[in-house]
């Protein structure tokens, strides 16, 4: 039985930082439906100006918002600041994307009139946000949807509601009506009710594959509702011949342990050529041993903070022990200094001898290592997953990268770059259990409006040249 309130706690301390009442889904959606027509009727230039004002409001409150993100997620303050910068940058990127992806077009023909292409908003969009980037990722749906003329009901993760509330205050202070962009506080029950509500025209979701599949199943009989699912990944790094072992190790560390591994694009699996294994894995371990794990505002600044809560830490500990007991060889043990707080050390485990490895997204600082002897085996192992979000090749030749790119099943494929840290100026999405072929970031404009094709003439002009009796 759910309580009437949602409470948010600091992962690093366990202290309560926010509480609020659960929202009423019917009331919120009804208010959005009444507000939507006037918002959609505004000139596009007005909507663009208002989201630019929103960016200015975020800039003004940047340090406060970064501090809240750091407190509520546990991520280091330096990383929370980069998230705020991404929120601001998203506005101009979305304006450019709207102009490019959903531009108006006309083709004149003297006899046939005008062929026109324009785009219309869907209506009221539900945005369901995750806890790992509680401002940047929902904002990546909200801003493009607002530009297109949609009204928004935003339900933040129940683990990060305070950040969601701060983000929406910036929209409202910018002059966008509180009825056009609304906050729905709640947990899974409110999320399920929002997704199924008759007054919702689309669902824009970022989160786990489990929750995304549930949304997809719920709306399987509703093709009238647009659904964009950005889910997780069991992402591989393939490490091949390279003399730059230290650089390669740094890329692995960045991919696996940034944000305490709590990124959908984080590397979960390191697939290493056997002749490179000792040098590379040894260097990765040496770097991992130097990683500072700490609270968001610690000095010196930590590389990574805690995972989101004790339940997540418990699950990762159990997963590490499962792999260990089924043939895994610990390279760096998963250590939890305190049972009452979700701090974890970065962990590395060789799973080359683990049979039937679970194809799951272990959402935390746990890297699985697998040895291979040839490049075809490496590609096959990289593709040995139902997910398909991000993949990187480190080392190798241009010809090997071409083979890698051609054969890897993923929506983001990198060479000598981390699996994470994708640009908002490019599409972001995956295949398989990683998404439903509606990539976000630069391509978010595609699912925020629908195309309307028109044939137009100022006066009716037509004749019927066949099949009529003579007068």
Residues 227 and 247 both lie in one domain: no
Q: Is the pLDDT confidence value at 110 over 70?
A: no
Of 107 and 170, the structure prediction assigns the larger pLDDT to 170
219 in the same domain as 245: no
- Both tokens of 50, joined, read 């208002």
Task: State what percent of residues in the chain have pLDDT above 90.
Answer: 93
Regarding whether 93 and 219 lie in a shared domain, the answer is yes
Mean pLDDT to the nearest integer, 158-177? 98
CATH number, domain of 175, equals 3.40.605.10
How much is the mean pLDDT over the chain? 96
Query: Is residue 429 assigned to a domain?
Result: no
**Which is more confident, 4 or 94?**
94
219 and 294 within one domain: no
Does residue 468 sit within a domain? no
Which CATH number covers residue 288? 3.40.309.10
- pLDDT band for 396, please (50, 70, 90 cuts): very high
In the predicted model, what is the mean pLDDT of residues 402-414? 98
Whether 69 is in a domain gets the answer: yes
Q: Same structural domain for residues 344 and 213?
A: no
- Shared domain for 217 and 305, answered yes or no, is no
- Measured distance CA(195)–CA(181) in Å, rounded: 17
The whole domain housing 394 covers 235-415
Are 350 and 253 part of one and the same domain?
A: yes
User: pLDDT tens across 38-76, in order?
Assistant: 999 999 999 999 999 999 999 999 999 999 999 999 999
Q: Give the pLDDT confidence score for residue 1 in this predicted structure.
A: 46
Q: Report how far residue 198's alpha carbon sits from residue 200's, in angstroms, rounded to the nearest whole number.
A: 6
CA dihedral (291, 295, 296, 301) in degrees, to 10, reads -40
Tell me the pLDDT band of 146, cut-offs 50, 70 and 90: very high
**Active-site positions?**
230, 264
Question: What percent of the chain clears pLDDT 70, i.e. is strictly above it?
Answer: 99
Q: Are residues 208 and 253 in the same domain?
A: no
DSSP code for 130: -
Domain presence at residue 301: yes
First-to-last C-alpha distance (Å) of the chain: 78
Whether omega before 313 lies within 30 degrees of 0, making that bond cis, reads no
CA-CA-CA-CA torsion sign (68, 73, 76, 80):
negative
pLDDT tens by residue, 317-335: 999 999 999 999 999 999 9
Query: Which residues, listed in sequence order, are joined to residue 105 by a DSSP beta bridge?
Result: 117
pLDDT tens sequence across 218-271? 999 999 999 999 999 999 999 999 999 999 999 999 999 999 999 999 999 999
pLDDT category at 107 given cuts 50, 70, 90 is confident
Q: Running DSSP on this structure, what letter comes out for residue 22?
A: P
Residue closest to 362 by CA, chosen among 209, 256, 234 = 234
Asked if 407 and 413 touch (Cβ cutoff 8 Å), the reply is no
Q: Which band of pLDDT confidence, cut at 50, 70 and 90, is reported for residue 413?
A: very high
Considering the domain boundaries, does residue 178 fall inside one?
yes
With respect to residue 461, please indicate whether it lies within any of the assigned structural domains: no
**Non-local CB neighbours of 34 within 8 Å, separated by 6+ positions:** 179
- Mean pLDDT calculated for residue range 134-158: 98
402 CB neighbour count, 10 Å cutoff: 12
Express each pLDDT in 356-377 by its tens digit.
899 999 999 999 999 999 999 9
Who contacts 400 (Cβ-Cβ below 8 Å, separation ≥6)?
A: 240, 375, 393
Asked if 202 and 327 sit in the same domain, the reply is no
Number of domains composing the chain: 2
272 and 355 belong to one structural domain: yes
Residue 422 located in a structural domain: no
366 and 385 share one domain = yes
Looking at the fold, whether 79 and 196 belong to one and the same domain comes out as yes
Q: How far is CA 323 from CA 201, 351, 381, in A?
A: 43, 7, 17
Q: What is the pTM of this model?
A: 0.96
Q: Which letter does DSSP use for residue 259 in this model? A: G
- CB-based contact 315:32 (threshold 8 Å): no
Give yes or no for residue 216 having a pLDDT over 70: yes
Q: What is the pLDDT, as a whole number, of residue 95?
A: 98
In a domain, 98, yes or no: yes
């Amino acid at each position: 039985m759910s309580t009437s309130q949602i409470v948010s706690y600091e992962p690093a301390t366990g202290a309560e930082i926010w509480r609020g009442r659960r929202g009423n889904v019917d009331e919120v959606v009804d208010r959005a439906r009444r507000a939507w027509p006037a918002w959609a009727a505004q000139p596009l230039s007005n909507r663009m100006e208002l989201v630019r004002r929103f960016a200015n409001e975020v800039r003004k409150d940047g340090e406060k918002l970064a501090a809240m993100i750091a407190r509520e997620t546990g991520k280091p303050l330096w990383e929370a600041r980069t998230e705020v910068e991404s929120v601001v940058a998203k506005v101009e990127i979305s304006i450019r994307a709207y102009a490019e992806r959903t531009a108006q077009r006309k083709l004149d023909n003297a006899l046939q009139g005008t062929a026109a292409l324009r785009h219309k908003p869907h209506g009221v969009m539900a945005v369901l946000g995750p806890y790992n980037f509680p401002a940047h990722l929902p904002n990546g749906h909200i801003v493009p949807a607002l530009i297109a003329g949609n009204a928004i009901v935003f339900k933040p993760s129940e683990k990060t509601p305070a950040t969601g509330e701060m983000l929406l205050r910036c929209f409202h202070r910018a002059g966008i009506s509180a009825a056009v962009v609304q906050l729905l506080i709640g947990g899974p029950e409110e999320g399920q009710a929002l997704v199924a509500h008759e007054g919702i025209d689309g669902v824009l979701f970022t989160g786990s594959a489990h929750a995304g599949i549930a949304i997809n199943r719920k709306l399987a009989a509703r093709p009238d509702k647009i659904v964009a699912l950005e889910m997780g990944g069991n992402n591989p790094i393939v490490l091949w011949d390279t003399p730059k072992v230290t650089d390669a190790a740094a890329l692995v560390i960045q991919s696996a342990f940034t944000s305490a591994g709590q990124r959908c694009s984080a590397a979960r699996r390191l697939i290493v050529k056997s002749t490179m294994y000792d040098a590379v894995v040894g260097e990765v371990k040496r770097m991992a041993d130097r990683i500072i794990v700490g609270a968001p505002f610690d000095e010196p600044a930590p590389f990574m903070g805690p995972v989101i809560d004790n339940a997540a830490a418990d699950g990762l500990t159990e997963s590490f022990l499962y792999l260990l007991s089924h043939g895994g060889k610990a390279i760096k043990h998963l250590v939890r200094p305190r049972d009452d707080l979700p701090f974890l050390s970065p962990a590395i485990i060789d799973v080359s001898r683990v049979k039937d490895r679970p194809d799951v997204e272990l959402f935390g600082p746990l890297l699985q290592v697998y040895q291979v002897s040839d490049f075809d085996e490496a590609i096959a192992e990289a593709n040995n997953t139902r997910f398909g979000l991000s993949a990187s090749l480190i080392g190798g030749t241009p010809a090997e990268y071409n083979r890698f790119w051609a054969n890897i099943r993923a929506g983001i494929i990198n060479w000598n770059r981390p699996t994470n840290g994708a640009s908002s100026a490019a599409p972001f999405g995956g295949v398989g259990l990683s998404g439903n072929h509606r990539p976000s970031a630069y391509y978010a404009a595609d699912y925020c409006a629908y195309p309307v094709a028109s044939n137009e003439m100022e006066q009716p002009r037509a004749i019927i040249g066949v099949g009529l009796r003579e007068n």
